[in-house]
């Protein structure tokens, strides 16, 4: 394992490199994401976990301007060049799936393949309503009761640590996020820093207004979309149906005993599917 920092503007983008083999560049948090992938995958791939600005230290108080989506994508390219990674398999989980997909559109020569995990087709109001309907119609009473119980603590915890409210939301929405709705995700978030100005802007506005269909028909890299059947945090896999015909090469896998983090919840199945897909010749 090797770790380091790449400076972009006044941000410190941490990275962690683990394993050997084809390079998989995982955008998000260099602290959180290494905890979610199996050790066995490190024997097949060289994982490069890197912060984006929402999870990076900044030497000043950042503004919304610092988190424009173009800058996020340019940071990913900066990391790729600084670490001399060559063409990469770009991977993003949840909202970071948008970063991975849009990076592949913006820098096609830098990407061989794209892996998107637990990402809804959009964060707009229509897909949010679709996700809420899915929750109301498909969820057992025990899971709903667990969410209600956890949300009772939400306002108090946010008031105590407003600077970490993104993490608090993620933990307290566990009944929507994990196949085992009693799973405690807090240890996964230990030591993760958050720039709430950036997270509010990215998740609240940028992803809400993003149209993933733009330029999709020009994307040459094959795409693997992995979703969990019990993921109630984002719009269900069917939300991607309107874009399926626009992909040059799209493979969809839905994991039966997973919610929002299939790579951890069904690690063995996830590893097998990923290795199999990456071993196939590009279409």
Q: Identify the residue whose tokens are 């410190």.
A: 12
Residue 90 C-alpha from the chain's centroid: 11
CB–CB of 12/239 below 8 Å?
no
Residues whose CB is less than 8 angstroms from the CB of residue 35 and which lie 6 or more positions away in sequence, other chains included: 187, 188, 264
DSSP-derived letter for residue 281 is: P
Strands 111-117 and 88-93: parallel
For the chain, how are helix, strand and coil distributed in percent, rounded to 5? 50, 20, 35
Residues whose CB is less than 8 angstroms from the CB of residue 67 and which lie 6 or more positions away in sequence, other chains included: 53, 54, 195, 197, 198, 201, 202, 206
Phi, psi values for residue 198, rounded to 5°: -70, -40
CB atoms within 10 A of CB 267: 18
Q: Which of 44, 94, 164, 177 is catalytic?
A: 94
Question: Can you tell me the distance from the alpha carbon of 273 to that of 49, in angstroms, rounded to the nearest whole number?
Answer: 20
Phi, psi values for residue 189, rounded to 5°: -95, 0
Q: Which helix or strand (DSSP H or E) is residue 196 part of?
A: helix 196-201
Q: Which of 16, 112, 260, 271 is catalytic?
A: 260
Residue 231 annotated among the catalytic residues of the structure: yes
Question: Can you tell me the distance from the alpha carbon of 136 to that of 232, in angstroms, rounded to the nearest whole number?
Answer: 10
Q: Which of 231, 239, 258, 271 is catalytic?
A: 231
In degrees to the nearest 10, what's the CA dihedral of 95, 207, 275, 244?
A: 140
Residue 94 annotated among the catalytic residues of the structure: yes
Report the catalytic residues: 94, 231, 260
């Amino acid at each position: 394992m090797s770790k380091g920092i790449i400076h972009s503007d006044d941000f410190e983008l941490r990275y962690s490199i683990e394993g050997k083999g084809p390079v998989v560049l995982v955008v998000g948090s260099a602290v959180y994401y290494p905890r979610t992938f199996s050790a066995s995958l490190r024997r097949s791939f060289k994982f490069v976990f890197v912060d984006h600005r929402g999870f990076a230290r900044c030497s000043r108080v950042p503004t919304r301007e610092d988190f424009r989506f173009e800058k996020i994508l340019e940071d990913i390219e900066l990391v790729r060049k600084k670490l001399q990674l060559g063409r990469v398999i770009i991977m993003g989980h949840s909202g970071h799936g948008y970063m991975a997909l849009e990076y592949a559109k913006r820098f096609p020569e830098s990407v061989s393949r794209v892996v998107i995990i637990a990402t809804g087709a959009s964060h707009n109001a229509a897909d949010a309503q679709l996700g809420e309907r899915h929750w109301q119609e498909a969820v057992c009473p025990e899971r709903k009761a667990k969410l209600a119980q956890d949300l009772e603590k939400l306002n108090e915890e946010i008031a105590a640590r407003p600077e970490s409210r993104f993490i608090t939301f993620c933990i307290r929405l566990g009944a929507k996020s994990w196949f085992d709705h009693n799973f405690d995700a807090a240890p996964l978030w230990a030591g993760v820093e958050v720039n709430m100005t950036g997270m509010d802007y990215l998740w609240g506005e940028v992803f809400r207004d993003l149209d993933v269909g733009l330029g999709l028909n020009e994307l040459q890299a094959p795409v693997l979309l992995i979703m969990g059947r019990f993921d109630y945090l984002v719009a269900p896999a069917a939300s991607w149906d309107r874009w399926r015909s626009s992909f040059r090469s799209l493979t969809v896998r839905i994991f039966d005993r997973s919610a929002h983090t299939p790579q951890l919840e069904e690690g063995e199945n996830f590893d097998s599917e990923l290795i199999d897909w990456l071993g196939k010749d590009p279409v």
